[in-house]
Structure 1
Amino acid sequence: MNRFMWKGGLVVLGGTIQGFGMGLFLFPHFIPSGGAGGLAVLLNYTFGLGMGAALWVVNFTFLLLAVNYFGKRFVVWTVIAITITSLSVDFFQQQNLIVNRHLLYDLVLGSVFLGTGVGILMRQGVSNGGIGVVALMISSGRNILPGRPLFLLNGCIFVITALIIDLRLIFLALISQWISTKMVDLICQLQFYRLYTLGFRKKP
């Protein structure tokens, strides 16, 4: 029970920190937080769908790919994570906590919080949804840290998003991804408790 509560707390924490970075710092500038974030930005830009709702729809769609690979328990935990993240994004977007915005500060701070949140989730064997699911599949199969495949996959979506909305976004998005994926690998390499593990396994 203690192990379950500890993991549950970290999943909520990771999702909240991720949503904080996205909703308060990145999304106000339309900077994609990742592949799923890029697709969510496109849905928001094209159809006017709220960022939190768009992010949840994209994440859940990608998550369906993981059912047969990681199993139902993984999917349940990830649904919790993406729900907390989506609610956090909507909450922090509605808070006028930053009066005088600075693009560079928001880019760096948002990316650091984003990577920290994603790293906490991945250390629990939980995906942040979206492209993170595919990155976990690759890191699991090849026994590598998830930051590099996450960066490469997200980069492809950034190009598409920038071509549709604004070419300048690709540079901001790639910088954000570089910072956030470095944070993901940093968090994943830290040694705290045995509860943390990079030993993702396919379901029996």
Structure 2
Amino acid sequence: MLKFWRKFGLVMAGGSIQGFGMGIFLFPHAIPSGGAGGLAVLLNHFFYLNIGLALWLVNFSMLMLAMKYLGNRATLWTMMSMTVTSLAIYASQQTFNFVKGDVWIDLCLGSVFLGTGVGLLLREGVSNGGVGVIALIISNSRSILPGKPLFFINGLIFILTALIIKWEIIVQAILSQWISTILVDIICKMEFHQNYTIGWRKK
């Protein structure tokens, strides 16, 4: 029972931290946190959906596609992490009336929060959803490593988002991914002696 509540707390913390970084620093500048983030930005742009809700819908639909590749327990934890992240995005945007600052400073800050949150989730073996799920399906069906399809899918979404909103998004998205990935590795290497699945990195 203690192990369950520890994991519950870390999943709540991870989802909240990454949601805060996305909602306060990244999404106000339309910087996608990954492929799913890019699709959420586009849904917000075209249909004026709250970006937290849009991200949840994108992640949830992808998770449904890949449910047979995950155990029931992993699926429930992933659904929880996605929901907490989306709620954190919504709550942070409604609670904090921040004026947009310098885009590059906000990008760095948001990426630090994003990487910290994702790192906490991965330490617990919990996915935060995203297009990595689709990349995993392609990888399993074609017997290839998931890195190439993940890069291709994310790249297409980044390009589409850049063409529709602004071209700088490609550079900003890649830089955000680089910074957040460094933080993921740092968090996962900390001495807690817990297993984590780096294959679930997003999205």
Q: Provide the TM-score with structure 2 as the length reference.
A: 0.85
Q: Per-residue displacement from partner, 1:63-86 (whole Å, max 9, x unpaired)?
A: 113311121111100111010000
Query: Is residue 126 of structure 1 aligned with residue 126 of structure 2?
Result: yes
In 2 relative to 1, CA 156–82 (structure 1 residues): closer, same or farther, beyond 3 Å?
A: same
Q: Which residue of 1 aligns with 2:55?
A: 55
Q: Aligned partners of 2:167 and 2:7: how far apart in 1? A: 40
Q: Aligned partners of 2:147 and 2:105: how far apart in 1? A: 22
Q: Which residue of 1 aligns with 2:195?
A: 196
In 2 relative to 1, CA 135–154 (structure 1 residues): closer, same or farther, beyond 3 Å?
A: same
Query: Is residue 182 of structure 1 aligned with residue 168 of structure 2?
Result: no
Q: Aligned partners of 1:109 and 1:199: how far apart in 2? A: 22
Identity of matched residues, %: 57
Q: Tell me if the contact between 2:122 and 2:198 (Cα under 8 Å) persists in the aligned partners.
A: no
Q: Aligned partners of 1:151 and 1:181: how far apart in 2? A: 14
Q: Provide the TM-score with structure 1 as the length reference.
A: 0.85
* Aligned-residue offset at 1:51: 0.4
Query: Is residue 8 of structure 1 aligned with residue 8 of structure 2?
Result: yes
Q: Which residue of 2 aligns with 1:21?
A: 21
Q: Which residue of 1 aligns with 2:114?
A: 114
Q: Aligned partners of 1:148 and 1:115: how far apart in 2? A: 21
Q: Aligned partners of 2:80 and 2:162: how far apart in 1? A: 30
Q: Mind listing any 5+ residue stretches in structure 2 that lack a counterpart?
A: none
In 2 relative to 1, CA 11–197 (structure 1 residues): closer, same or farther, beyond 3 Å?
A: same
In 2 relative to 1, CA 39–99 (structure 1 residues): closer, same or farther, beyond 3 Å?
A: closer
Query: Is residue 82 of structure 1 aligned with residue 82 of structure 2?
Result: yes
Amino acid at match of 1:198: T
Q: Per-residue displacement from partner, 1:11-66 (whole Å, max 9, x unpaired)?
A: 00000001010001001111111111100000000111110110110000111133
* Aligned-residue offset at 1:169: 1.2
In 2 relative to 1, CA 147–104 (structure 1 residues): closer, same or farther, beyond 3 Å?
A: farther
Amino acid at match of 1:50: N
Q: Tell me if the contact between 2:28 and 2:100 (Cα under 8 Å) persists in the aligned partners.
A: no
Q: Mind listing any 5+ residue stretches in structure 1 that lack a counterpart?
A: none
* Aligned-residue offset at 1:100: 6.2
Give the aligned CA root-mean-square deviation in angstroms. 2.6
Q: Which residue of 1 aligns with 2:68?
A: 68
> What SS does the aligned partner of 1:197 have?
coil
Q: Tell me if the contact between 1:124 and 1:197 (Cα under 8 Å) persists in the aligned partners.
A: yes
